[in-house]
Structure 1
Amino acid sequence: MATPHYEQQYLNLMREIWTQGDERVDRTGIGTRSVFGATLRFDLSDGQVPLLTTKRVYWKTATREFLWFLTGDTNIRNLCAQGVEIWTDWPLDRYRRETGDQISREDFSRCIVADEAFAAQWGDLGPVYGKQWVDWPVYEPAGEGLFTRRAQGVNQVADLVHSLRTNPGSRRHIVEGWNVAELDGMALPPCHKTYQFHVAGNRLSGVLYQRSCDVALGLPFNLWGAALFIRLLAQQCDLEPGELVWMGGDTHLYLNHADLVEAQLSREPAGSPRLAITRRPDSIFGYRIEDFEVTGYAPQAHIAAPVAV
């Protein structure tokens, strides 16, 4: 019996949510169908990556976002300058609410790139993802019951690379984004919140726990990002890629994604794309978009759907 295509488990999850999920009102007011506690597993050996083939996934956009996380930047200006608009809707929504100016997304992004002061005022997302990954704040006693913030916080990613190299058997290979004290300052609290890594022999595997997952639009990018994280760490630590295990808490489809869901479920997955990393920089923070090459990826057409803000 032939082994099912790796993407079939994603499609099975989508079908389960759409046909059996609990219908509920969500934060955005759009409404979702949701299941709780989903799991997917992907083999990353021999360059394999969990790129969906039943629709196009813009892996270069997802890679640029991931590399941006590693910088610790929290302003969308650098992303917009690269044509990456993943995060633009949240600052745009705040700008429209606070100014009353119903500027188009394109014009807003253009202003962010062209005007540094405008970007400083309107483009910051608060201490999201990368800020927590590479600069988790640390406060030290300053006397008389006061505390001061240390100039440089905890770089979880650098510490992770060190621990994988020096203590591969540790059960503490974790990168955490859910900083309870700073959630209110974030444009969006982290959805892909916890990464844990495990070394068995010479193989590096990783678990991503995602508290909230938009299966149609977010999950394809999240799977790519988690697989990329494992690949970068493996290269930096002289390990072989093992397996990606993805775990979802509230795992949902938005009710206004019906056309996307029905179109995607009518398609058959095919092909086996491979990712090559063509250069090994001195540190995990030194990668560039030019260092990544995907072959064997022939996806079916892109399926558009609205983002819930």
Structure 2
Amino acid sequence: MNEQAYLDLCRHILHNGKDKGDRTGTGTRSVFGYQMRFDLKEGFPLLTTKRVPFRLVWSELLWFIKGDTNIRFLLENNNNIWNEWAFESWITSSKYDGPDMSDFGRRRLTDESFAADYEKEMDRFKRRILEDDDFAKEFGNLGNVYGKQWRAWRTSDGNVIDQLKEVIHSIKTNPDSRRHIVTAWDPEDVPGNMALPPCHTMFQFYVQNGELSCQLYQRSGDTFLGVPFNIASYALLTHLIANECGLEPGEFVHTLGDAHLYHNHFEQIEKQLSRDPGPLPELNIYAPEKSIFDLSIDDVGIEGYHPHPGIKAPVAV
């Protein structure tokens, strides 16, 4: 079963990983170099041992596909997964006029009074992003993150490359090429032009026997919170590009560099590992005649998804 590949990764990290410090100060247990394979003909790999909200996966991927880098689109679709990075840019700016929010990622977990202030300030931030165009332009933009690199890669001569359009054209016109690659890792932008350097850094497509497969290289994977989203997102992208190119979805191969579990996720992952996986859902593209670049949020969905309940865990920022 496809899901077993992910559960095996979690067990492997718990039992064989090494404890390390990390950028967030939370601490991780990690392994380096790990690969999972998902046969997309066996079902859509959305975890069943805990609920993974598909609409959040799809709205984030649609945001990437559109080349958008401002969280306003995400908030309009009730997607809050990028809020903390934009919020941090506001609370560290000279224009912030609220209570001290420094180190909010950890303080909100241990200080109830601070957590209440944080929620109040985050709500105020989100409202301003949605209602104030100038504020959204200044503080909702995350810099040259995924959408920018996929759709408007900056060249040395001042032009841009639409990598996603070019790779689709390449798949259609030269399916046997070994150059069906999209990269989000721009060494020039990483130091200061991105709210978060890309974790899923590069992906490559492969065509064989009328099927499209995709391999992702992910330099860093938050295995409990992030990796389930990444699996679903790139499986979905493979389905969408296969549909665009008149191919069937084949396999999604997920290669990880630093695959880690945060120390404050151990209890949650043990709970998840105690559960039995169920049948995988089916992905439906309700408007298969549309180009991937014209899809809307209601054009894609899943059926037959009956997971165990979700498991909450803190995000390390």
Shorter chain as denominator, the TM-score bin is: over 0.9
Decide which of 25, 28, 44 is 1:29's aligned counterpart: 25
Partners of 1:282 and 1:84 lie apart in 2 by 24
Query: Which of 164, 176, 189 in structure 1 is aligned with 2:183?
Result: 176
**1:197 maps to which of 202, 205, 213:** 205
Q: What residue in structure 2 maps to residue 215 of structure 1?
A: 223
Q: Determine helix, strand or coil for the equivalent of 1:171.
A: coil
Shift of 1:282: 4.2
Q: Give 1:106 deviation, angstroms.
A: 2.2
Identical pairs, percent: 47
Amino acid in the other structure paired with 2:174: N
- C-alpha displacement at 1:56, in angstroms? 0.3
1:112 aligns with 2:108: no
User: 235, 253, 268: which is aligned to 2:243?
Assistant: 235
Report how many aligned residue pairs link the two structures: 294
What is the match of residue 40 of structure 1? 36
Match of 2:302 among 290, 294, 307: 294
Residue 185 of structure 1 corresponds to which residue in structure 2?
A: 193
Instruction: Specify which of 94, 109, 119 is matched with residue 89 of structure 2.
Output: 94
The answer for the alignment partner of 2:10 in structure 1 is 14
> What's the offset of the Cα at 1:97?
2.6
Distance (whole Å) between structure 2 residues aligned to residue 248 and residue 182 of structure 1: 22
Amino acid at match of 1:134: R
Deviation at 1:70, TM superposition (A): 0.9
- Residue 156 of structure 1 is aligned with which of 157, 163, 179? 163
Distance 2:261 2:309 in 1: 20
The answer to whether residue 282 in structure 2 is matched with residue 274 in structure 1 is yes
Matched, 1:56 2:63: no
User: Which amino acid is the alignment partner of residue 135 of structure 1?
Assistant: A
- Residue 135 of structure 1 corresponds to 152
**Does 1:66 pair with 2:61?**
yes
Q: Given residue 125 of structure 2, which amino acid in structure 1 is its aligned partner?
A: F
CA distance in 2 between partners of 1:293 and 1:126 (Å): 29
Quick check: 1:121 aligned with 2:129?
Answer: no
Q: How far apart, in 1, do the equivalents of 2:224 and 2:235 lie? A: 18
2: CA distance, partners of 1:155 / 1:111: 31
- 1:42 CA drift (Å): 0.6
- 1:87-134 residue CA offsets vs partner (Å, 9 max, x unmatched): 100111222233362453222111111111111121110000010000
Displacement, 1:19? 2.4
Question: If the length of structure 2 is used for normalisation, what is the TM-score?
Answer: 0.90
Number of the residue aligned with 1:253: 261
SS of 1:293's partner is strand
* Local SS of the residue matching 1:107: helix
Contact preservation (8 Å) 2:47, 2:280: no
The correspondence for 1:75, drawn from 70, 77, 81, is: 70
Show structure 1 runs of 4+ deviating over 3 A. Answer: none
Q: Are 2:79 and 1:84 aligned? A: yes
SS in structure 2 of the partner of residue 182 of structure 1 = coil
Once the two structures are superposed, residues 245-266 of structure 1 have per-residue CA deviations (whole angstroms, 9 ceiling, x without a partner) of: 0000000000011221121111
Letter in 2 for 1:26: D
Work out the CA distance in 1 between the residues paired with 2:270 and 2:176: 44
Question: Is contact 1:128–1:186 with CA below 8 Å preserved after alignment?
Answer: yes
Task: Work out the CA distance in 1 between the residues paired with 2:216 and 2:22.
Answer: 23
Query: What's the Cα RMSD here?
Result: 1.2
Report if aligned partners of 1:43, 1:244 keep a CA contact under 8 Å in 2.
yes
Matched residue type, 1:299: P
Opposite residue 289 of structure 1, the aligned amino acid is I
The letter of the residue matching 1:303 is I
**Structure 1 gap ranges (5+):** 141-148
The alpha carbon displacement at 1:281 in A equals 4.4
In structure 1, the residue corresponding to 2:61 is in which secondary structure?
Answer: helix
Contact kept? 2:29, 2:260, Cα under 8 Å: yes
- Tell me, yes or no, if the aligned pair for 1:40 and 1:245 is still in contact at 8 Å: yes
